[in-house]
Amino acid sequence: LELTNDEERGPGKEHLIFTGHTHVRYASDERGPLDISLGRIHLRAAGRYIINPGAVVDGQFAIWNRQADHVEFRRV
């Protein structure tokens, strides 16, 4: 999946996409992979993101806090 740096929103220009099934935690924006080692990424208003919260079977999940503009990676 390729993201472009386009600040205009509309169909096909999603701000945030959650995906799964690979069981590997991962986050990227239109510039490339993001460092998720601290367990949280901050989102830019004009950015476009792909988030894989990890394997549910391992208790991994992610929370998108819209008010604080961040995604937090957690484990049960």
Contacts of 10 (CB under 8 A, 6+ apart): none
Contacts of 42 (CB under 8 A, 6+ apart): 69, 70
pLDDT of residue 36: 96
Query: Which one is predicted more confidently, 14 or 1?
Result: 14
Structure tokens belonging to residue 37: 């080692």
Report pLDDT digits (tens) over 2-26. 445 544 545 567 889 999 888 899 9
Q: Give the pLDDT mean for 40-62.
A: 94
User: What is the Cα–Cα distance from 38 to 74, expressed in whole angstroms?
Assistant: 11
Alpha-carbon radius of gyration of the chain: 12
pLDDT of residue 11: 56
